[in-house]
Amino acid sequence: MNEPAAEQVREEARAWLAEHWDSDLPLAEWRRRLVSSGWGCPTWPAAWFGKGLSEALGEVVQAEFRRAGAVGVASSGVRMLAAATLLEHGSEEQKARLLPRILTGEDTWCQLFSEPGSGSDLAGLTTRAELNRDTWIVNGQKVWTTSAHHARYGMLLARTDWDVPKHRGLSFFVLEIEQPGVEVRPLRQMNGHASFNEVFMTDARVPRDMLVGKPGGGWQVALTTLAHERRLADGMRTWGQAERGEGRVYRELREEQARVMEPYKWYPQRAGRVDLILPVARASGRLPDPVVRQEIARALMLERAAQWTARRARAARALGQPPGPEGSLGKLAASVVARAAARAHAAAVGPDALLAGENAPAEGMVAEVLLSVPAISIAGGTDEIQRNIIAERVLGLPKEPRDDVDVPFRDVRRNPSNVSR
């Protein structure tokens, strides 16, 4: 395909925005325009609400949006994982029905993967789905499910065949959360927030046409979700800045953010808040301390190098290399940066690291960093799992011997139901 040049795209985007951008529209209606025109997700295929542009040209479009102060499609959190997964594996009907409302922000999603008995070993999950005429009946429990308490849909991975090896007996569903068979209970985290939940499914129902991919093909579908999750781990650092501006679109956007983002207020803190380190050290007067400076330098340097590495990976993708296991490298880098940042914050405030709450350093942000950073090396796949992936798939080191992959799942050793908590 012969790609249009950056200049041409810039002009088209500018002209379209000049004609259509209107800050007095209702938010959902504005976003419907974005969806139907393809300008909301320019890098998506032209057949599915996009324009088929490269990542580089997509950035040109984004720059035009920023210039015009125009609001973009809803793109925060799990919704984009759902979108990427559906784009790749969804049926025509599923894409047509589900994707637009993801982008307008009308539907929120969650990821029903982890269970009490299987987190890292996702393919060992035991939630059961059985087909009864035209409906799948689901029984089991999910845990640490971010967003479930305000999601309309969940990406559900469940076992549909117990007589084949573990990876081959899974299926991927779209589960409607608001139904009698689904109970969501918020789960409090060590930092006091509650952005994740327990989800209990008791004879929950999924219509047959909400199976994504084939029965038994769920693992392949889930791998797409996971690959995007690792890749987006970096992006979480700049989570949710409500745009300033007058007009109905902005007002509704701020309302949406306040509502939808409330549970994730701590997400930037789990990435370490490298941006706050120097201001915090200046405020405490410890910036000149040579020991403190070394810790600060380590965090700032790692952050910069991680950013540059992400940019190198993007440049490589622009040359046509597909996104691969190097996403794991980015996720591991984010952990390393966050831990270095936590050490730097602690060093920078000294004994005030004992304090929390509004009167603590940076209005309590330092305390929240210290209490949130441990999540980053667990959520979305632990550091150990990322290292395994890097070693095996990037460096080509031999796999560990395993005795759980080539036997029927029935015969695989599992957690007794009381060990997982």
Query: CA–CA separation, 358 vs 349, rounded Å?
Result: 15
3-state secondary structure the chain: CCCCCHHHHHHHHHHHHHHHCCCCCCHHHHHHHHHHHCCCCCCCCCCCCCCCCCHHHHHHHHHHHHHHCCCCCCCCCHHHHHHHHHHHHCCHHHHHHHHHHHHCCCCCEEEECCECCECCCHHHCCCEEEEECCEEEEEEEEECCCCHHHCCEEEEEEECCCCCEHHHCEEEEEEECCCCCEEEEEECCCCCCCCEEEEEEEEEEEEHHHEECCCCCHHHHHHHHHHHHHHHCHHHHHCCCCCCCCCHHHHHHHHHHHHHHHHHCCHHHHCCCHHHHHHHHHHHCCCCCHHHHHHHHHHHHHHHHHHHHHHHHHHHHHCCCCCCCHHHHHHHHHHHHHHHHHHHHHHHHHHHHHCCCCCCHHHHHHHHHHHHHHHCCCCCCCHHHHHHHHHHHHCCCCCCCCCCCCCEHHHCCCCCCCCCC
Selected from 18, 301, 405, 407, the binder of other proteins by CB under 8 A is 301
Nearer to ligand FAD, 199 or 310 (CB): 199
- Which among ligand FAD, other proteins, none contacts residue 120 (Cβ within 5 to 8 A by kind)? ligand FAD
Q: Does 394 bind other proteins (CB under 8 A)?
A: yes
Stretch that binds ligand FAD, among 42-50, 93-101, 218-226, 380-388 (CB under 6 A): 380-388
**Residues in contact with 354: Cβ distance below 8 Å, sequence separation at least 6, in sequence order:** none
Pick out residues in 278-297 that bind other proteins (CB under 8 A). Answer: 278, 282, 287, 290, 293-294, 296-297
Number of residues that bind other proteins (CB under 8 A): 42
**Contact between 357 and 388 (Cβ < 8 Å):** no
Stretch that binds ligand FAD, among 31-39, 97-105, 346-354, 379-387 (CB under 6 A): 379-387
Q: Does 375 bind ligand FAD (CB under 6 A)?
A: yes
Q: Does 146 bind ligand FAD (CB under 6 A)?
A: yes
* Owner of token pair 């809803």: 74
Please return the burial class of 332, using the count of CB atoms within 10 Å of its CB with bins 0-12, 13-18 and 19+: buried
Q: How many CB atoms lie within 10 A of CB 411?
A: 11
- Which among other proteins, ligand FAD, none contacts residue 114 (Cβ within 5 to 8 A by kind)? ligand FAD
- Which among ligand FAD, other proteins, none contacts residue 144 (Cβ within 5 to 8 A by kind)? ligand FAD
Of the listed 64, 115, 229, 295, which one is catalytic?
229
Q: Does 309 bind other proteins (CB under 8 A)?
A: yes
Number of residues that bind ligand FAD (CB under 6 A): 19
Q: Does 144 bind ligand FAD (CB under 6 A)?
A: yes
Q: Does 308 bind other proteins (CB under 8 A)?
A: yes
- Which among other proteins, ligand FAD, none contacts residue 3 (Cβ within 5 to 8 A by kind)? none
Stretch that binds ligand FAD, among 9-17, 20-28, 106-114, 330-338 (CB under 6 A): 106-114
Selected from 66, 208, 265, 387, the binder of other proteins by CB under 8 A is 387
Nearer to ligand FAD, 197 or 284 (CB): 197
Stretch that binds ligand FAD, among 284-292, 294-302, 319-327, 383-391 (CB under 6 A): 383-391
What minimum distance in Å lies between the beta carbon of 296 and other proteins? Answer: 5
- Which among other proteins, ligand FAD, none contacts residue 123 (Cβ within 5 to 8 A by kind)? none
Q: Does 75 bind ligand FAD (CB under 6 A)?
A: no
Residue 303 designated active-site? no
**Where on the chain is the footprint of ligand FAD (CB under 6 A)?**
110-111, 113-114, 119-120, 144-146, 196, 375, 378-382, 384-385, 388
**Where on the chain is the footprint of other proteins (CB under 8 A)?**
278, 282, 287, 290, 293-294, 296-298, 300-302, 304-306, 308-309, 311-312, 315-316, 318-319, 329, 332-333, 336, 384, 386-388, 390-392, 394-401
Which residues form the catalytic set? Answer: 229
